[in-house]
Amino acid sequence: MGKILRNQIKEAGLINKPEPPLAKRPLRTDNLITGGTTITVGLRENIQKAVDAVENAGGGKVIIKGEKIPVNYDITVPSFVTLEGEGRDNTILDFGDNSNSIKIEGTAASRIKNIRIRDLTIQNSGTYGCDVNYADFLILDNVRFSSNTGSGLRIRASQQYMVLNCLADNNTVDGYTLAGNASHNHGRFNYFGCIATDNTGNGFDITGDATNVIGNGAFIGCEADNNILDGFELDNGNIEAAIYFGECIANSNTVNGFDVNIGHSSFIGCKADSNGGDGFENTGTRNAFIGCVPSSNTGEDFNSTARCSFTGNQFKYATNIDPSTRVSHDDISVQSTGNTGGNTRTEKNYMQMLNTSGGTVAQGGVVVLKAVADGDEITTTTTAGDDNVFGMAMFSHADNAWGAILTEGYTTKLKVDGTTDIAIGDYLGTFTTAGIASKVTSGMAFAVALEAYTTDDSSGVINALLITPRKVGVSTTTAKAKATKNDAQTITTGTATKIELDDETYDPGSNYDNATNYRFVAPQDGYYQVNGAVHFTAVADGERVICYIYKDGSSYSQLGVNSSGASITGSGISDVVYLAANSYVELWAAHTHGSDRDTVALAQRNFLSVHLLST
């Protein structure tokens, strides 16, 4: 340390300190605060002169002693300097409402680096309590920013910094302000355990845009209470901010708890309680809200008008609370699943699918799953009640483009045809016009109408609830049939042969084929009672007649009877058979007479009856 620097320290009334050996001077790196000269200042000593002296010595620390220290000048902190008090309740820098403050001010060409401020209070500044611009590798630890005319702490265009366990209260603007700059992005920052309370503006205010980018940061365990505006005002022009909020709390703020207009960010385990507006208001795209707890907010607990996901959140529920009044995200790409206290209006599921229909699918258009190996393509259909119905296009979906397909949840955009009148509660399936839904009385349904439509055209757009596709219009009253044979059929000896039952006693569901295949085809999965009988003329004494139930082309069960006295001989069989939809049963028979035998030409003696018992 040279003679001039020693004189500066003496003139400032600061302590004398021997010049440190060269080996103990601060290591000048771009991400480290270490070593250097330490100067202690008291109540009546000039802090800025001490800071200047430490800077001139190559960096180090200024320790401030004294409880409440009046300050009527700016304290400008340069690179490689630590400003340290004895605790924020013990060291209070009071600027007396003048226009001075603590400043950390670099430029785009020459950024300030490696600064630490800790264990003190900054209060009653006529401007921002601590104003930071173009500063990297900064740490603010256990600092209180109180009753300042501007924000308690404003940081602009800075990177790689941390704010730890700080309190910003009763400031005229915001508790904490983060701002960008077109020439130097603001990012890679962390706020841990910081509190903003009773500020006239927002608790935490992130303000940026496409050219003043703020992003790639985190707020962990931070809290905003009783602020006049929002708890967390996050307005970054809806760009890909990629900011993480973990276990943060917004409580009793006059407007919103979390006002989110940033994109690609996550809110995990956050709480918004008793705010005057919404708990979480989201206008930013592709944000995720996971395990959050909104409660008792005057507006809605969750209100999103942009694409995002809600997963595993805890909605407040009670016998007098309608979940749909607490959560709003109608007709946008919101993935909302697994939330406690939700209902059909709050839960929603969609998938990104590739449209290969050969044309554009309009918003609200009905799509079916296309038969491709990857299973990720959709198309349209003109088959009514198509089994492959998949969902509804949430937006206009161009050919050979990926887009959002709603598969479950509430919509106000479903396109329908009203030729068959649609009433509230009717099941809806695909229609004979591509992209349109209609009332379905049998076949596959994928939605329930929440609005009537009776006009004879395909121009309807109604409210509906999309559900897991399911078969409708089939019941035990139609899943049944009985077929008989009233004429002879010749059966070769020793050969099991299908009995061609070509007359129907009843078949309300048209499930029995009495013209070609002579079989009953199951309209739905279930357990079916199957009964059958067949009789042959004059079978030789002691020879055998066998009756079979065949399922899907193979013997399922059989019963044989031996002839007695070379007379008409028959066999009957009864069984309960499980059939999947489109499986089938048939009546087969055989005999061992030794030569061909005819069946008895009587319907009462040759029949098959099938009836659905249960599913």
Per residue in 518-573, pLDDT (tens digit) is 999 998 888 999 999 999 998 999 999 999 999 999 999 999 999 988 789 999 99
Which pLDDT belongs to residue 481?
96
- Enclosing H/E stretch for 410: strand 402-416
Please give the structure tokens belonging to residue 159.
Answer: 């990177």
Which pLDDT belongs to residue 13?
44
Please give the structure tokens belonging to residue 338.
Answer: 């697994």
Residue 285 vs residues 262, 304, 307, 475: alpha-carbon distances, Å: 7, 9, 5, 45
Of 81, 87, 160, 196, the residue nearest 102 (C-alpha)? 81
Q: What is the pLDDT of residues 175-204, one digit of tens each?
A: 999 988 777 788 899 999 999 999 999 999
Residue 256: count of CB within 10 angstroms of its CB: 27
Dihedrals phi, psi of 53, to nearest 5 degrees: -65, -40
Q: What is the pLDDT of residues 486-528, one digit of tens each?
A: 999 999 999 999 999 999 999 999 999 999 999 999 988 889 9
How far from each other are the two terminal CA atoms of the chain, in whole angstroms? Answer: 93
Reported residue count of the chain is: 615
**pLDDT confidence bin for 474, thresholds 50/70/90:** low
Residue 601 has pLDDT above 70, yes or no: yes
Residue 329 has pLDDT above 90, yes or no: no
Which pLDDT belongs to residue 576?
97
- C-beta of residue 289 within 8 angstroms of C-beta of residue 310: yes
Q: By mean pLDDT, which of 121-130, 235-244, 397-406 is the weakest?
A: 235-244
Question: Could you identify the residue written with the tokens 């009495």?
Answer: 514
Residue 108: count of CB within 10 angstroms of its CB: 12
Which pLDDT belongs to residue 324?
78
Residues 423-441, mean pLDDT to the nearest whole number: 95
State the Cα–Cα distance between residues 48 and 54, nearest whole angstrom. 10
Please indicate, yes or no, whether the overall pTM of this predicted structure exceeds 0.75.
no
Residue 337 has pLDDT above 90, yes or no: no
Residues 458-485, mean pLDDT to the nearest whole number: 88
